[in-house]
Structure 1
Amino acid sequence: MRNTIHVSNIIYFIGGGADKTRERFGIIKWGPTNLMGLAKAALDLQKGPTCETKYYGYLDKKKIIQDIVKQKLKNAKIRINLVGHSRGGAIVKDIAMRELRKLNIKANIVISLDPVKAKRSNRYRVPSKKSVNNVKTYICVYANPIKRDPTDYIAMVGGQYGVRLEPHSHFFVEADINHGQPMPMLKLSLNDKGRTAWEVLLKESRKA
């Protein structure tokens, strides 16, 4: 008789522009870079047995919400965690603080890695206190490097959130890291104790 492993938590990795798909930025075609897919693969090597991980692109918002509902119907106690980069960083915030709140589903850990508006024409969605309260821990990293590269200019033009989310974050870090580097953002110290978002995710993934 096989032992079935009870899944206690799920971590969604959400990529930004050109992460899971090929996209055009002006005259430049870019992607897929698979940056958040690589982050998922790195966590998969270290996570606990009761953690499940999934990888989506920022255009998969409806699919992500549908999957969360499905997971909750299977196990009401499962903990929902979301990590998004760039446009994916804005999407995880909106899913956790708007869409899941409407469905009365709490999010556990939500991490926005240099969030950028999903569309340039969108307005900046700064959450209310009630919306933030739907998330147990919200971590936001703002990439503001001394030396910029093309990814930083794309983020700025696309609608980088910058410091707008600082008052609404449990942890907010302004980093000397380029926009296109989500893994270094995850491994950046969040406070004086040196704890990183990566360590927060690892600890969560190993909880029963």
Structure 2
Amino acid sequence: MTTLLWDVYARCYDVIERLQPYRKMVGELMAEVPEGPRRVLDAGCGTGNLTRAVRARNPGEIVAVDLSPVMLDRARRKKPRVTHVRADLNGDLAELRGRFDVILCGNVLYALPDPAKTVAVLKGRLMPGGRLIVTTPRAGAGVKAILGEHVRERGIVSLWRIILPLLFVGVINARLLGSDAHHFFTRSQLSELLGTEDIRTTYSDQAWLAVYRAI
């Protein structure tokens, strides 16, 4: 997807925060973050939802990176005391200094040209004992199960105020999920990519949550 389309996407993306499955996924991610990490990196921070959530884990420092200026601008508006850096996860992240105790990578790897290269770079930025926490869509993922779970828990009326931006996000997600240019891993493929067996489903079973722990 082009940078321009990511920028347009950013203007509607936060509507998904109102979906119960999304909130659950964020909670599951945060449960993998130990209390009081010295440094946290949100790699591909988007509009800053994970960045804001990780503040509750009392980190010493949070650094958030994204390639889209519009995504970063929206993330900055949430003001969670974060250093925001424009950087390309396809590169070597030379813009960043030092290593991190926790690196979050939420629904990013599937959209990168070379996920294995990015994973290697991120692993190289972990402190000994640090964690790389990843979510990424499963092969065959779709929005129907996510909306279904939300409606079961909150009722269909809860959708009426968000239906238009949600439809826009759904259209872009459908394009992403149907693209041959993106990577949708099986469990075994993700295990091999990350070097971990700590993998389970999240987001109404439409995504994987994986945790790699550095030695």
Query: What range is the shorter-chain TM-score in?
Result: 0.3 to 0.5
**TM (normalized to structure 2)?**
0.36
Normalised TM-score (structure 1): 0.37
